[in-house]
Amino acid sequence: MTYTQGVLLAFFAAIAVFAALSCAARLQSAGTAERALAASILWLGIFCVPVHVLGWLNVLTRLNLAIALAVVTAAMLVLAWFPTRRARMMAGIIAQTARLPWDAFAEAWRERSVAFVGLIACALILMWTAWLSYLAPSSSWDGLMYHEAIVGFSIQNHGFRWVEVPQGVLEQVNGFPRTCEYLALTAALFDGKRFMDLVPTVVSPIAILAFYVAMRRFMKDRSVTIALACGLYLVPAIVFELRSTYVDIEYALCFAACCHVVTRPKMDLAHAWLCVLAIGLLGGLKVTGLLLAPPLLALWFLRASATGFEQRRKAYLPTVLLGTVAIVALGFVTYLRNWFEKRTSFGRRI
């Protein structure tokens, strides 16, 4: 790791946050928390989609990834800001969305709610696990067996080529979906092994947000909803996966986000494409995504088709067709490769 590479990764992460917030600010009929969740999904997509494309084309190098991230981020900024006559309003929406964590603390303190204690506990755990991630590597079993192995082989082979591994021991390296490793792979390419364990800690605030947004629709009191979201985050099984290369936190937040965006009352074109990204990410995160993503895909397909038919808008037809193809390409390509290679969806081990 060099200082320059770390600065470059931090720069990409910061610009990606601004690009995601800018695109989310263009969403209509969305509250502040919902815009923040949309921005979080877009932020994950900025990093995951380029790694996915370059990896399956077997041209995944640090330079190629840096160029791809720059191109994707620039394209999102152009789409968000040009042409627009609402620059001042957009800036206000972005500032309001970025201020959401502070507003949550202020709301909980003003209401003298137990949610304030939960938020403090979450913040302390975030800082503590981030510091531990920097000091020493984790010792997770699955991480050593295949999570870190997938990252290592992907860097070594500049992509996701089929790797010859001991049968019955490491078939997960080939057979399991790998979207969950994309952020760790990006960190390893730019910063080395040290920051791979930091990924669950970095994305865990998105999990709190996803839990909150998914529950807020059914609850009246914001402070109680914040407290419940913090309570879900503080479950020991989740806290213990911070400072590791486990991926269940990413999976949980994507599932909660998918459930919200797919079932939201209004399905316009922008939210339809946001569903495409969320479902695609969910399908490729873990093997269990194969159980949860198809029903959500079917529900999205029916809702998007019905909305297009109801509004008599031809734009929904290519959205439904291209969106379905995009979801399969992003979430289920590993299973297709497994079938062509070994005539099974999961590899020889399962």
Cis peptide before 83 (omega within 30 of 0): yes
Three-state DSSP at 284 gives helix
Say if residue 90 is exposed, middle or buried (CB neighbours under 10 Å; 0-12, 13-18, 19+). middle
Nearest by Cα to 151 from 184, 179, 125: 184
Per-residue model confidence (pLDDT) at position 350: 45
- Over the stretch 92-111, which tens digit does the pLDDT of each residue have? 888 888 888 999 999 899 98
The sign one gets for the Cα dihedral 236, 237, 241, 242 is negative
8 Å CB contact between 251 and 289: yes
Residues whose CB falls within 8 Å of the CB of residue 170, separated by 6 or more in sequence, listed in order: 145, 146, 149
Distance separating alpha carbons of residues 280 and 200, to the nearest angstrom: 19
- Over the stretch 111-153, which tens digit does the pLDDT of each residue have? 888 999 999 999 999 999 988 888 877 777 777 788 888 999 9
Per-residue model confidence (pLDDT) at position 46: 94
Phi, psi of 77 (to 5 degrees): -65, -40
Per-residue model confidence (pLDDT) at position 61: 93
Parts of the chain with a pLDDT under 50: 348-350
Residue type, 41: I
Per-residue model confidence (pLDDT) at position 60: 94
Our measurement of the distance from residue 68's CA atom to the centroid of its chain's CA atoms, rounded to an integer in Å, reads 18
DSSP symbols for 14-79: HHHHHHHHHHHHT-SS--HHHHHHHHHHHHHHHHHHHHHHHHHTT---HHHHHHHHHHHHHHHHHH
Three-state DSSP at 350 gives coil
Residues whose CB falls within 8 Å of the CB of residue 102, separated by 6 or more in sequence, listed in order: none
pTM of this prediction?
A: 0.91
User: The tokens 């939210």 sit on which residue?
Assistant: 271
